[in-house]
A = this chain, B = another copy of it.
Amino acid sequence: MGVRMLWPSPVNRVATLNLGGEPMPVDKPLNFVVLVGSLRRGSFNAAIARALPGLAPSDVAIVPLGSVGEFPLFNQDVEAQGFPSAVVAMGEAIAEADGVIIVTPEYNYSVPGVLKNAIDWLSRLLTKPFAGKPVAIQSASPGIFGGVRAQHHLRQTLVFLDARALAQPEVMIPQAHNKVDANTGELTDATTRDFIAKQLQAFAAFARR
């Protein structure tokens, strides 16, 4: 396989001041977390998620959330006995973050069941971690539509969660197999990298409102 699943360490990206005089007005540093909608080891979407820290503005840190694969299938009877610790932990990480980036494939013209299952669990937490939370969406697929149908279904769910979903720019990445290096698992396509960087910049401004 050869796909590296390691994340770059979340560098401390605080904005710098010019020391000689008045401090320049600086933007508040932001911490975003990333949720990946696929469990496949060589997932294109996981590859894109790993590229995000390197594409973010300098005052934006991006760290991965845990895997949706650690959640059991949602069952209200299970919930009644207490939330699984993976759900609680992810809920806290989202609650503390300045924004969530969801990077997901499309399965059968909609959101993957594994991702929706994670959101179903998270939505039950009394802390309501998505309420008012800025959310950006990215999707990649080997096909020509880049997951666009999954994005719109996901947006409908985000309305219920009262999340603040970024509208434009949207990131749909078609033919992802041509944009991720099969050996290194790196997002190598320059156009895609630029486009993602633009969305992250817009998302940072959106999250600061």
B contact residues around A112 at 8 Å (CB): 74, 116-117, 120
- With known contacts A108-B157, A155-B156, A156-B149, A39–B74 Cβ distance under 8 A: yes
Whether A69 is near chain B, meaning CB under 8 Å from some CB there, is: yes
Task: Please provide the chain A residues from 112 to 129 with a CB less than 8 Å away from any CB of chain B in the complex.
Answer: 112-120, 123
Whether A73 is near chain B, meaning CB under 8 Å from some CB there, is: yes
- How many residues of chain A have a CB within 8 Å of chain B? 50
Taken together as a complex, chains A and B put the C-alpha atoms of A5 and B124 apart, in Å, by 25
Taken together as a complex, chains A and B put the C-alpha atoms of A111 and B161 apart, in Å, by 15
Render A37-62 as a binary contact track against B, CB cut-off 8 A, 1 for contact. 01111000000000000000000000
Cβ-defined contact, B109 with A111, below 8 A: no
A35 to chain B, nearest CB (A): 13
B contact residues around A192 at 8 Å (CB): none
Cβ-defined contact, B155 with A155, below 8 A: yes
Cβ-defined contact, B39 with A113, below 8 A: no
Cβ-defined contact, A39 with B109, below 8 A: no
Taken together as a complex, chains A and B put the C-alpha atoms of A75 and B115 apart, in Å, by 11
Contact partner, A117, options B113, B144, B153, B158, Cβ 8 Å: B113
B contact residues around A170 at 8 Å (CB): 159
B contact residues around A123 at 8 Å (CB): 107-108
B contact residues around A33 at 8 Å (CB): none
- Which 10 A-B residue pairs are closest in the complex by CB-CB distance? A113-B117, A113-B116, A39-B75, A162-B168, A109-B160, A40-B76, A108-B157, A107-B120, A162-B167, A113-B120
15 examples of A-B residue contacts, CB within 8 angstroms: A38-B76, A40-B75, A40-B76, A68-B73, A73-B73, A107-B116, A108-B120, A109-B152, A111-B116, A113-B115, A113-B119, A152-B156, A153-B156, A159-B167, A162-B167
Chain A interface (Cβ within 8 Å of chain B)?
38-41, 68-69, 71, 73-78, 107-120, 123, 144-145, 148-149, 152-153, 155-165, 167-168, 170, 174, 209
